[in-house]
Amino acid sequence: MKPQPQATISFTGSIPSNYDHYLGPLFFEDYAIDVCSRVKPSTRRALELCCGTGRVTNHLRKVLGPNAELIASDISEDMLAVARKKLKGENIDWRIIDAQQIPLEANSCDVVVCCFGYMLVPDKQKAFSEALRVLRPGGTLLMSTWDKLENNHASNVFRKTVKEYFGDSLPETYKLPFSMHDQESIKEQLLAAGFSKVSIESVEKVSPGVSAKEVAYGLVHGGSLYNEIMKKNPLWVKEISDVVEKELTVKYGSKPMLAPMSALICQATK
């Protein structure tokens, strides 16, 4: 059976810069360091998929040897523009690449890295098969996905608030970021794609927000739901931000705001 068409998330306009400034340190920095620490020093060629604004790319370039090739790619030109500006002058080959159709030769990469990107890819099985194809024998796919929404407390506060405002008219993309938390399902998909060995680890960390106010602003303005809120009612932007700030303050503090978060880090070997 063919997979059903999946709604796609668009990171355009003001979202990429807000995403990088607010959500990057809040959610992605610590996991970027963790994932990159698992990359083998002997890596000669690395491919990063769904690189976004280059947070993982930055750490990859640091852990790779000076002569190692790093291809950093995303499907969004707007996100890549932020990454290119941040890492200007670094030895990085920036490309627009769809994870479902990688324009690289077979058996050409030592590692494929994809942090918090596969949740948004419509045909995951095809994407996993493509990652396998471009990996050399013995190569590794390193990927991270978010754990259950309720285990990511700041995001849960925000999304529950959005749900209250939207009611039955929630956009189809609402659940996508937290749609890959079933470890057995992920393992089955990777093995079905042809990977020989799969290990998945649940990794808990803390979202380090400067303040509840800043975190609330970033959650509203730095994610794809911002465009959906604006379409529905622009006045909701501030209302939702205020509601989220109050709840975050009560539960996780005002300054700083420290909320538990959890992700899955997976290593799959060809």
User: What average pLDDT does the segment 122-147 reach?
Assistant: 97
Closest listed residue to residue 75, CA positions, set 104, 100, 56, 111:
100
- pLDDT confidence band for 251 (50 / 70 / 90): very high
Asked if pLDDT for residue 14 goes beyond 90, the answer is no
Number of H helices, E strands in the chain: 10, 7
Question: d(Cα 259, Cα 261) in Å, to the nearest integer?
Answer: 7
Query: What is the predicted pLDDT for the residue at 5?
Result: 44
**Predicted TM-score of the model (pTM):** 0.92
CB count in 10 Å sphere of residue 108:
17
Q: Write the single-letter amino acid at 250.
A: V
Q: Domain residue spans in the chain?
A: 15-269
Taking each helix axis from N to C terminus, what angle separates 183-193 and 124-134, rounded to the nearest 10 degrees? 50
Query: What is the predicted pLDDT for the residue at 224?
Result: 81
Cα dihedral: 113, 181, 119, 216 (round 10): -100
Query: In this prediction, what percent of the chain has a pLDDT beyond 90?
Result: 87
| pLDDT tens digits, one per residue of 65-91 | 999 999 999 999 999 999 999 999 999
Domain spanning 15-269: CATH 3.40.50.150 = yes
Mention every residue, 6+ apart, whose C-beta is less than 8 A from residue 105.
134
Asked if pLDDT for residue 248 goes beyond 80, the answer is yes
| pLDDT tens digits, one per residue of 50-61 | 999 999 999 999
Residue with tokens 């959650």: 219
| pLDDT tens digits, one per residue of 153-173 | 999 999 999 999 999 898 888
Mention every residue, 6+ apart, whose C-beta is less than 8 A from residue 244.
157, 158, 161, 215, 216, 219, 220
Buried b / exposed e along 240-265 (16+ C-beta atoms within 10 A): bbebbbbbbbeebeeeebebebbbbb
